[in-house]
Copies of this chain bind each other. A is one copy, B any other.
Amino acid sequence: MKYALNRNIFNLVLKIVDNMADDAPMSETPTLAEKVSTELTTAIVRGELKPGARVSEQMLVEKYGGSRAPMREAIQKLEARHLLIRIPHAGARVVSLTLAELRDIYEVRVELESMACRLAAERMTDVEIAELQQLLQNHEDSIKAEQGQSYYQKAGDLDLHYRLIRGSKNDRLHQMLCGELYHLVRMYRYQTSTSEKRPLQALQEHQRIVEAIAARDAELAELLMRRHIQTSLRNLEQLLAEEEGRA
């Protein structure tokens, strides 16, 4: 029962982040290749397909139906998102990030998201900022109400980051962050683990960030966001070190 609830919340979180990376046309009659590529994406992000696992065209045909042509296209789409790595004549594998590569990704993410925060402070409308404050108020209430429901906090965390990125009003920036980097971060679930550890601290950091934005203090907002993500990077590295020691 409790697990079932958590799974629902987990799906909610996935949905929110999926909306962040809403690069799929979502047309009325989606192509088979599109359907398969979105299914494959969630399968990889959820860990049903583990890093390093081979993804052959035949396998996808058996799993999703259809012929090899659309499967091939789906694989190529995921290669473009850096979720699969394709080697000519040899096939595709789920990307398997080394620690160094994950650090590289976080390094870029820190830079781009703090930039997004700076731009958001300059460009968000007053209405959008008010909605931001409302969102944080809701988070605070839910945290005070149920200490254990860290999933809500995680969803809120993602939602806030999402709004700030959109608030930058820079579509290319949004595309790079949500369409490329976040998939990989999600996939390793590190973000999940880390944010669970410090829900209240994260909320306070968020509050300061939104305060800075409300004051239109772009420099401060950028600095605070930079620290906020760098903290989560340090948590991530600590987690990796622990996992390394265990293995």
Contact = CB atoms under 8 A, between A and B. Distances in A.
A176 interface: yes
Interface string A100-115: 0100110110011001
Interface string A143-171: 00000000000000000000000000011
Contacts of A229: none
Interface footprint category on A:
20 to 34
A104 B172 contact: yes
Interface stretch (A72-80, A209-217, A234-242): A72-80
B88 A172 contact: no
Q: How many copies does the complex hold?
A: 2
Interface of A: 25, 27, 30-31, 34, 69, 72-73, 76-77, 79-80, 87-88, 101, 104-105, 107-108, 111-112, 115, 119, 170-173, 176, 180
Given A108-B115, A176-B176, 15 more contacts: A25-B88, A69-B69, A73-B76, A76-B80, A80-B80, A104-B170, A104-B171, A104-B173, A105-B172, A107-B119, A107-B172, A108-B173, A108-B176, A111-B112, A112-B112
29 contacts: A27-B88, A30-B88, A31-B88, A34-B88, A69-B69, A72-B73, A76-B76, A76-B77, A76-B80, A79-B80, A101-B171, A101-B172, A104-B171, A104-B173, A105-B172, A107-B119, A107-B172, A107-B173, A108-B112, A108-B115, A108-B170, A108-B173, A108-B176, A111-B111, A111-B112, A111-B115, A112-B112, A176-B176, A176-B180
